[in-house]
Amino acid sequence: MRPHIKVNDMGHLTIGGVDAVKLADELDTPLYVVDENRIRERYREFYSAFSSLYPKVEIKYAYKANTSLAVLHILRQEGAGADILSEGELYIARKKIGLEAENIIFTGNNKTDRELELALEEDVIINIDAVHELERLIGICEEKGKEAKISFRVNPSVSPMTHPHLATGLRKSKFGIHEEDVIKVYRRAKDSDYLRILGIHMHIGSQITSTQPYEEATSKLFDIVGKLKRVLEIDLEFVDLGGGLGIRYERDSPYITPTDLANALIPIIKRKIKEHSIEEPTLYLEPGRYIVGDSSILLCRVSTVKQTPYKKFIGVDAGFHILLRPVLYGAYHEAVIANKMNQEPVERVDIAGNVCESGDILGRDRRLPNVEAGDVVAFLDVGAYCIIMASQYNSRPRPAEVLVRDGKYELIRERESVEDLLVKQRVPRRLLE
């Protein structure tokens, strides 16, 4: 079991010192539960792993993993900046969380002109993903008469050895500028009167569980930094290594810690700095999943137990509209019966969601105790890419979210009502006649 998830004297699952069955009874299901202390613990673990070995380190939390406002404020208190990808994330980071512009890097691919204009107006770092985007930004800067702070996202052509949908640093990936074009784009930026070059960026993928891809990509990236110094006399203020460090979804799955990663990368970085005679840049890191992934559980209630001639299904009041990863990636989330934690598994079942799709299976061939209607199923490690991906498919309202800490809980997201499903819709008057 995860260190912050325990079993109490009643045989119930607890998280953050709160009985999960009590939460399900009092707040209804489905329900996302977030452990505040676990987020703080993981952030500090990640930051200290690198800052203990390198003097200038900044964490830019990857907003796309989870943008629940309470979570973002926790990370702001811890000192995290933001890696953002959209107009919405820019608004949240600046207007709702109150981060300073210099603590935000706007990456994202296929940015619209509106997004570039807003990023320029807010004075955040714009991380350029394509040559065409560079030219559009220069045009916008000239029109507005305003300087942009920029970096470039480089594609290092490295396989992160992860799910194909999560690999962003491959040669054929849609992301980033390839090495053969790097000098060209930095020269173009240097020649512009409206761009201030600050750094360079890469992000090779997500749910990475080996240091080897990071080592290869980091070595390549710092060779490019050296080339920029040698050819264009550009000294970069920061080098952004991206994020992507994985978590252990299954108990025996491969796993590396932030300390493992820092121990592997910092010697390479120091060696390359010396080899290329470059000034020591600030190191940016963009963890998302690692910080929030195992902080949360999803509680749902068993509504139907269905035995067919071929398989037994445990039907719950949740579906892929609120837990998409199993369907989208074939991802595994450990499932336990929160009110029967001390009972031994006696059968193998599929946990079926309530969305009207054959693929809506949240857990296949899971060994569980005898499951009955009314039992509470808890899916673990749902803090990243789960509530953020939730939808209203099948006209089902999105769930509530609660924050737990030291035996107490606070509601941080209200459960949607059926009226919320329709709040932005408009019907032409002629159709009502």
Mean predicted lDDT score pLDDT of the chain: 94
pTM recorded for the entire structure: 0.94
Closest CA to 343 of 11, 80, 82: 11
Q: Per-residue pLDDT averaged across 301-315, rounded?
A: 96
Which CATH code is given to the segment(s) 5-35+293-422? 2.40.37.10
Contact 201, 105 (CB under 8 A): yes
Secondary structure of residue 300 in the 3-state scheme: strand
Q: What's at 75, amino acid-wise?
A: L
Check residue 71 and give its pLDDT. 98
The pLDDT value recorded for residue 252 is 87
Q: In this predicted structure, what is the pLDDT of residue 167?
A: 47
**Is the predicted pLDDT of residue 175 greater than 90, yes or no?**
no
Domain boundaries, given as residue ranges, for the chain: 5-35+293-422, 67-287
When comparing pLDDT for 253 and 312, which is higher?
312
Other C-beta atoms lying within 10 Å of the C-beta of residue 336: 22
CB atoms within 10 A of CB 413: 18
What is the pLDDT averaged over residues 362-371?
Answer: 97
CATH fold of the domain at 67-287: TIM Barrel (3.20.20)
The pLDDT of 30-48, averaged and rounded, is: 98
Q: Is the pLDDT of residue 170 over 80?
A: no
* pLDDT tens figures, 144-169: 999 999 999 998 877 555 444 444 44
Counting residues of the chain whose pLDDT is more than 90, the rounded percentage is: 90
pLDDT in tens, 229-254: 999 999 999 999 999 999 999 988 88
Spatial distance between the Cα atoms of 65 and 63, rounded to a whole number of angstroms: 5
Q: What's the chain's length in residues?
A: 433
Give the position of tokens 């032409």. 428
Query: With the CA atoms of 352, 246, 167 and 263 taken in that order, what torsion angle do they form, in degrees rounded to the nearest 10?
Result: -170
Residue pLDDT, tens place only, 379-401: 999 999 999 999 999 999 999 99
pLDDT at 308: 94
Please compute the mean of the pLDDT values over residues 355-374 and round it to a whole number.
Answer: 96
pLDDT class for 172, splitting at 50, 70, 90?
low
Reported as a single tens digit per residue, the pLDDT across 82-110 is 999 999 999 999 999 999 999 999 998 88
> What distance, in Å, lies between the first and last C-alpha atoms of the chain?
59
Alpha-carbon Rg for the chain, nearest whole angstrom, is 23
Q: What is the dihedral of CA 418, 424, 430, 433, to 10 degrees?
A: 20
- By annotation, the residues acting in catalysis are 356
Closest CA to 3 of 334, 294, 375: 294
Q: What is the pLDDT of residue 373?
A: 98
Q: What share of the chain is helix, strand, coil (3-state, %, to 5)?
A: 35, 25, 40
Q: pLDDT band at 176, cuts 50/70/90?
A: confident
5-35+293-422 and 67-287, same CATH topology: no
Answer yes or no: are the C-beta atoms of 296 and 34 closer than 8 Å: yes
Position 251 scores a pLDDT of 85
Segment 328-356 shows an average pLDDT of 96
Tell me which residue of 55, 269, 246 sits closest to 162, measured CA to CA. Answer: 246
Per DSSP, what are the bridge partners of residue 301? 376
The per-residue pLDDT for range 190-224, each reduced to its tens digit, is: 999 999 999 999 998 889 999 999 999 999 999 99
- Mean pLDDT across 252-258: 91
